[in-house]
A and B are shown apart, each in its own frame.
Chain A
Amino acid sequence: EVQLVESGGGLVQPGGSLTLSCAASGFNFSDYWMHWVRQAPGKGLVWVSRINNDGSILNSADFVRGRFTISRDNAKNILFLQMSSLRAEDTAVYYCARRYGGNSDLDYWGQGTLVTVSS
């Protein structure tokens, strides 16, 4: 069974840093591109970042470029999102998602982890 379990969320002050993790199981993690998507409270889905299967290709949304870094450890089946210079508007539930590939896209999602940026 495919499982994605995010962790690392919490309360952080503006300007602070946080690293999110997404533990993957039930599939060959190193074969798949992975994404981060966020959702502010009561708002819609917003794409954050993606990484290819071996970590050599990274893309991020303009609003996080230079502040957030996506990475992965294929030996441990973990996806990361390192976040720095956090702002109040980064407050959201952060989801990791697997890209199936071929004609499909984000077919499995984690349950999300809440990041709250507040003083």
Chain B
Amino acid sequence: DIQMTQSPSTLSASVGDRVTITCRASHTINRWLAWYQQKPREAPKLLIYKASTLEVGVPSRFSGSGSGTDFTLTISSLQPDDFATYYCQQYSSNSRTFGQGTTVEIK
């Protein structure tokens, strides 16, 4: 099974900050990586797929990069609506694996 490890688990930041979340796969997944945003009591929302492709409607301040085993999600200028939990997820295999999540909190 492919394991996904995200860091940090929690991140405190201010509006306007540049924020980076990292995700590492235990085996190479090429670029089969997605990022989701989840707010309390809501379903996850797809932000990025194929490591760097922005889903339609997602603001351009979100970006993704990486390939193989190491990936990053960057928010270039944090906005009030961005305080949430973010998950990476691999879809290289017949199953799916999520990272443990990174909660972006208000500093």
A, B: real partners: yes
- List chain A positions with a Cβ less than 8 A from chain B: 35, 37, 44-47, 50, 59, 61-62, 95, 103-107, 109-112
- In this assembly, does B71 line the interface, its C-beta being within 8 Å of a C-beta of chain A? no
Contact call B49/A104, Cβ cutoff below 8 A: yes
Sample of 20 A–B contacts (CB below 8 Å) = A37-B44, A37-B96, A44-B99, A44-B100, A45-B36, A45-B87, A45-B101, A47-B89, A47-B95, A50-B95, A103-B53, A104-B55, A105-B34, A105-B46, A105-B49, A105-B89, A106-B36, A107-B46, A107-B49, A109-B44
Instruction: Give every chain A residue within 8 A of B34 (Cβ-Cβ).
Output: 104-106
Which one of A46, A106, A111 has the highest number of Cβ atoms from chain B below 10 Å of its Cβ?
A106
Residues 56-102 of B at the A interface (beta carbon under 8 Å): 87, 89, 91, 94-101
Which one of A44, A46, A50, A95 has the highest number of Cβ atoms from chain B below 10 Å of its Cβ?
A44
Interface residues on B, range: 20 to 34
